[in-house]
């Protein structure tokens, strides 16, 4: 009991236990702090190391760390670099731990904008593009341009800026406006103190005049850069005529296809005695790349003769020597010239024979081509000269006459000259010469029966007994029955094929996009008939991009089309590729549709005459004497009688010579054939064979249609002989048989008489 009371009266002893606990807690806290501090130091050091490695390319960035926080400091060159540095840092540490204290270098003050203007002028109007001072009187400027140029459409695409006008701007702007007034097709670029002009003129003379006018108008304070071109003209036919006589040596006409050929031709002319001031026109349309070789050779030939003349018209060369040139010398020079001429050229050489006894008149000559006719020689008097020139103008259009009146010419001289012109009118181009006792006609025609037609015309004009010589070549491309396209029709078909299924390209490249096969097939169909024409493939772009880039892109695209055509098996030997860039727009470049139209491939004809890769077959010389009107009428009556009896005889049971019957039945067909397939003959209008009259059309085509019902079916001789008669018996057999023969006597359109059937 006493022990229990003593225990209840004393407090418990807890002091040592509490102290131990506190000491343990303090030790644990200290250890935790040290561990946390060590971890923070490790993270801080590791972050700083990783950030410095990541920002090694940003030497302007300073990295500081404060525990887990990262601070980026420094002056960035621009806002883009500042953003990149922060983004790079956030790839190493969390974005929430990055403090961006970076600054950006202060931007320089904006420079004053440059005032620049471009004026684009063509036949459709004027466009003004660029930046001009705010105080410019734009309405007054447009009114001035309308008054000075007469342009009805002026597009004002200028923008204004209210800045100080730079030195030299006002003089340059005034001169640029003046330049746009002077040049009808030009691009005028204006900047302070300088003006750049790119212009196209119609001729070298206009080019020189424009250059002189610009130099006169240019202020001393303005620098001018001018690029003015004058495209070469198209010369058809491509002609050179050189004459050496008592008056001296001269070029009556001179054409050259390039500068080198021109210099060689003029040098040959000067060696032959031509004055230094002689000129030779550069142009397009030469029939051969060796035109210069041919021209130099013919000039040298006349010089070797000492007197005479020579004319080259496309590939035809005509050499003439007067009577006082020795025959041996003429033969030698003509032989050497024939050997020296390039393969595609053909030579016609004539040596005037010395007259015996009374001297006859100078000959009358006419040279005709697509551009008109040139008349040379003598004529009876002024009244007859006017009559001959009037007829020539009616037949050929343009007339270049140098006829001289001479009362000593023989009787009937004017009639012979008119007959020669009528005969020449039956050809596509050629020469006609009239002397005292001979009419000579040579040239080229698209009709295989041209010699017969010319002989008939001479007979109608001169009557019986007139001597003639004919040398007429057949050119299949001029034959209307074959229907071959002209050069213009060829490029029209090629451009139409491109529009139907255009060859496209990858953007800003010359690589053809998609399958060009269908387009190439269409192009191949046309080129099969047109490969002998000189054709250019032109590439064009819109105005986006630099001028130099567009020019090169258009050239390479045109070259790509040419290469694709060649790889497709198309004959492209006479085709060239050229790039025009943005210089020839056909639509407004301000719209997407316009730019699309301007991005194109376009075919252009470089010469209307086809290139002769080989000489045409030589003309067969035909000599003869015209028949009398009575003989012509008797021959026609005989042909009519044979046609009637041969066609009607078998039906009526009248004995008929089988050979004559076959001849009569097939005569209309033979007159139309000329190397064309029968199916085409049966449907081809007879007027293309020189028979335009309606009765003759019916008479000529009806037998052909009956004889040739199916081009693939052979017709038996008996059926061929009786078919026309059967048809004629329903109407008028005599009329069907005689109309072709009657119309063969037509004055303006004679038919050649066929050869008589050979007897076995």
Least confident of 125-134, 148-157, 259-268, 295-304: 148-157
Check: CB of residue 114 under 8 Å from CB of residue 191.
Answer: yes
| R_g of the chain, CA atoms, integer Å | 46
Burial class (CB in 10 A: 0-12, 13-18, 19+), 760: exposed
Q: How far apart are CA 111 and CA 544, in angstroms?
A: 26
Check: CB of residue 271 under 8 Å from CB of residue 262.
Answer: no
Q: Residue 545: left (phi > 0), alpha (psi -120 to 50), or beta?
A: left
Q: How far apart are CA 726 and CA 733, in angstroms?
A: 9
Four-CA torsion 484, 490, 492, 494, nearest 10 degrees: 130
Q: How far apart are CA 560 and CA 203, in angstroms?
A: 32
pLDDT mean across residues, the chain: 78
pLDDT at 274 over 90: yes
Q: How far apart are CA 604 and CA 537, in angstroms?
A: 7
Least confident of 212-221, 318-327, 488-497, 699-708: 699-708
pLDDT at 702 over 80: no
More confident residue, 685 or 553: 553
Q: How far apart are CA 89 and CA 72, in angstroms?
A: 9
Query: How many helices (H) and strands (E) in the chain?
Result: 22, 28
Q: How far apart are CA 675 and CA 474, in angstroms?
A: 12
At a CB cut-off of 8 Å and minimum separation 6, what does 636 contact? 741, 742, 744, 745
Q: How far apart are CA 292 and CA 302, in angstroms?
A: 16
Question: How confident is the model at residue 634, as a pLDDT?
Answer: 67
pLDDT at 493 over 70: yes
Query: Which helix H or strand E contains 523, and what residues bound it?
Result: helix 517-530
State the number of CA atoms in the 13 A half-sphere of 251 facing the CB: 28
Burial class (CB in 10 A: 0-12, 13-18, 19+), 556: middle
Return the DSSP state at 314. T
At a CB cut-off of 8 Å and minimum separation 6, what does 81 contact? 58, 60
Signed CA dihedral, 200, 204, 206, 212: sign only = positive
- Residue count of the chain, please give it: 760
Which of 373, 257, 342 is closest to 607 using CA atoms?
A: 257
Question: How confident is the model at residue 294, as a pLDDT?
Answer: 95
Geometric angle at alpha carbon 536, from 531 and 539, rounded to 5°: 135
pLDDT at 318 over 70: yes
Residue environment code for 59-82, b if the CB has 16+ CB neighbours within 10 A, otherwise e:
eebebebeeeebebebebeeeebb
Q: In percent, how much of the chain has pLDDT > 90?
A: 27
Check: CB of residue 75 under 8 Å from CB of residue 61.
Answer: no
Burial class (CB in 10 A: 0-12, 13-18, 19+), 694: exposed
Least confident of 163-172, 266-275, 360-369, 449-458: 360-369
At a CB cut-off of 8 Å and minimum separation 6, what does 661 contact? 646, 647, 649, 650, 721
pLDDT tens-digit profile of 374-407?
Answer: 888 888 888 888 889 999 999 898 888 877 777 8
pLDDT tens-digit profile of 413-434?
Answer: 888 899 999 989 888 889 999 9
Four-CA torsion 516, 520, 522, 526, nearest 10 degrees: 160
pLDDT at 644 over 60: no
At a CB cut-off of 8 Å and minimum separation 6, what does 542 contact? 550, 582, 585, 589, 594, 595, 596, 598, 599
Return the DSSP state at 748. S
Question: How confident is the model at residue 33, as a pLDDT?
Answer: 52
Q: How far apart are CA 737 and CA 152, in angstroms?
A: 66
Q: How far apart are CA 493 and CA 479, in angstroms?
A: 20
Question: How confident is the model at residue 579, as a pLDDT?
Answer: 93
Query: Which helix H or strand E contains 365, and what residues bound it?
Result: strand 364-369
Which of 581, 602, 605, 607 is closest to 538 using CA atoms?
A: 602
Check: CB of residue 658 under 8 Å from CB of residue 669.
Answer: no
Q: For 174-238, give the DSSP string.
A: HHHHHHHHH-SSEEEEEETTEEEEEEE-SSHHHHHHHHHHHHHH--TTSEEEEEEE-PPPB-SS-
Q: How far apart are CA 377 and CA 363, in angstroms?
A: 6
Strands (E), 237-345: 239-245, 248-253, 255-256, 281-282, 308-313, 316-321
More confident residue, 648 or 600: 600
pLDDT at 652 over 60: no
Q: What is the mean pLDDT of residues 310-339?
A: 88
Q: What is the pTM of this model?
A: 0.39
pLDDT at 487 over 60: yes
pLDDT tens-digit profile of 183-225?
Answer: 988 999 999 999 999 998 877 778 888 999 999 999 999 999 9
Which of 90, 234, 258, 121 is closest to 187 using CA atoms?
A: 121
Question: How confident is the model at residue 4, as a pLDDT?
Answer: 45
Query: Which helix H or strand E contains 373, and what residues bound it?
Result: strand 372-379
For residue 693, the SS3 value is coil
Q: How far apart are CA 572 and CA 418, in angstroms?
A: 45
Beta bridge partners of 62: 73
Q: Which tokens is 419 given?
A: 């007959």
More confident residue, 589 or 94: 589
Return the DSSP state at 618. P
Which of 119, 196, 130, 201 is closest to 160 using CA atoms?
A: 130
Residue 635 banded pLDDT, cuts 50, 70, 90: low
In the numeric block, the tokens 């490790």 are attached to 42
Give Cα 272 distance to the centre of its chain.
Answer: 36
Beta bridge partners of 350: 320
More confident residue, 386 or 627: 386
Residue 79 banded pLDDT, cuts 50, 70, 90: confident
pLDDT tens-digit profile of 2-26?
Answer: 444 444 455 555 556 656 566 666 6
């Amino acid at each position: 009991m006493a022990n229990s009371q003593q225990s209840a009266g004393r407090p418990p002893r807890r002091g040592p236990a509490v102290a131990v606990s506190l000491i343990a807690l303090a030790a644990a806290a200290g250890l935790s702090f040290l561990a946390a501090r060590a971890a923070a130091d490790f993270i801080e050091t590791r972050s700083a190391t990783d950030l410095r490695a990541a920002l090694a390319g940003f030497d302007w960035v300073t990295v500081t760390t404060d525990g887990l926080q990262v601070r980026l400091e420094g002056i960035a060159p621009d806002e883009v670099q500042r953003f990149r540095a922060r983004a790079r840092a956030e790839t190493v540490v969390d974005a929430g731990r990055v403090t961006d204290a970076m600054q950006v270098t202060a931007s320089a003050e904006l420079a004053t904008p440059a005032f620049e203007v471009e004026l684009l002028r063509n036949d459709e109007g004027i466009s003004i593009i660029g930046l001009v001072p705010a105080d410019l009187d734009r309405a007054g400027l447009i009114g001035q341009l309308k008054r000075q140029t007469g342009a009805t459409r002026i597009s004002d695409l200028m923008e204004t800026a209210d800045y100080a006008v730079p030195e030299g701007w006002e003089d340059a702007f005034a001169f640029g406006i003046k330049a746009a007034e002077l040049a009808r097709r030009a691009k005028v670029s204006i900047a302070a103190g300088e003006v750049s002009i790119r212009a196209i003129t119609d001729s070298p003379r206009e080019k020189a005049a424009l250059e002189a006018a610009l130099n006169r108008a240019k202020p001393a304070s303005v620098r001018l850069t001018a690029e003015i071109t004058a495209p070469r003209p198209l010369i058809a036919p491509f002609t050179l005529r050189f004459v050496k006589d008592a008056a001296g040596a001269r070029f009556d006409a001179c054409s050259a296809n390039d500068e080198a050929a021109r210099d060689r031709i003029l040098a040959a002319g000067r060696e032959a005695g031509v004055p230094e001031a002689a000129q030779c026109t550069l142009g397009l349309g030469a029939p051969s790349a060796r035109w210069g070789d041919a021209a130099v050779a013919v000039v040298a030939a006349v010089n070797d003769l000492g007197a005479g003349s020579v004319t080259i018209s496309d590939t035809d060369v005509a050499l003439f020597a007067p009577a006082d040139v020795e025959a041996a010398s003429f033969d030698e020079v003509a032989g050497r010239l024939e050997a020296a001429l390039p393969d595609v050229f053909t030579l016609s050489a004539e040596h005037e024979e010395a007259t015996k006894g009374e001297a006859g008149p100078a000959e009358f000559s006419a040279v005709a081509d697509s551009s008109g006719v040139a008349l040379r020689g003598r004529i009876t008097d002024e009244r007859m000269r006017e009559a001959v020139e009037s007829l020539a103008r009616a037949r050929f259009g343009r007339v270049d006459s140098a006829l001289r009146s001479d009362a000593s010419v023989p009787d009937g001289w004017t009639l012979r000259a008119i007959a020669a012109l009528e005969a020449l009118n039956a050809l596509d181009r050629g020469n006609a010469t009239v002397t005292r006792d001979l009419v000579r006609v040579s040239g080229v025609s698209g009709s295989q029966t041209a010699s017969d037609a010319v002989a008939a015309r001479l007979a109608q004009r001169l009557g019986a007994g007139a001597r003639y010589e004919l040398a007429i070549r057949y050119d299949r491309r001029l034959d209307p029955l074959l229907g071959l396209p002209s050069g213009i029709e060829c490029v029209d078909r090629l451009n139409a094929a491109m529009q139907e299924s255009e060859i496209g390209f990858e953007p800003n490249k010359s690589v053809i996009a998609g399958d060009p096969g269908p387009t190439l097939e269409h192009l191949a169909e046309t080129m099969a008939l047109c490969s002998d024409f000189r054709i250019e493939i032109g590439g064009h772009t819109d105005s986006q991009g630099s001028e130099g880039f567009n020019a090169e892109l258009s050239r390479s695209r045109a070259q790509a089309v040419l290469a694709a055509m060649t790889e497709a098996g198309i004959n492209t030997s006479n085709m060239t590729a050229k790039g025009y860039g943005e210089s020839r727009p056909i639509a407004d470049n301000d719209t997407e549709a316009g730019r699309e139209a301007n991005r194109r491939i376009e075919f252009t004809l470089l010469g209307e005459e086809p290139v002769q890769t080989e000489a045409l077959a030589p003309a067969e010389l035909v000599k003869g004497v015209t028949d009398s009107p009575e003989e012509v009428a008797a021959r026609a009556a005989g042909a009519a009688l044979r046609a009637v009896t041969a066609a009607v005889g078998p039906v009526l049971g009248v004995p008929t010579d089988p050979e004559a019957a076959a001849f009569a039945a097939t005569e209309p067909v033979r007159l139309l054939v000329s190397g064309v397939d029968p199916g085409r003959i049966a449907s081809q209008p007879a007027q293309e064979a020189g028979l335009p009259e309606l009765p003759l059309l019916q008479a000529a085509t009806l037998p052909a249609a009956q004889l040739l019902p199916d081009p693939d079916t052979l017709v038996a001789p008996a059926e061929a002989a009786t078919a026309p008669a059967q048809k004629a018996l329903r109407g008028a057999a005599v009329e069907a048989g005689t109309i072709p023969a009657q119309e063969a006597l037509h004055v303006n359109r004679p038919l050649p008489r066929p050869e008589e059937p050979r007897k076995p």
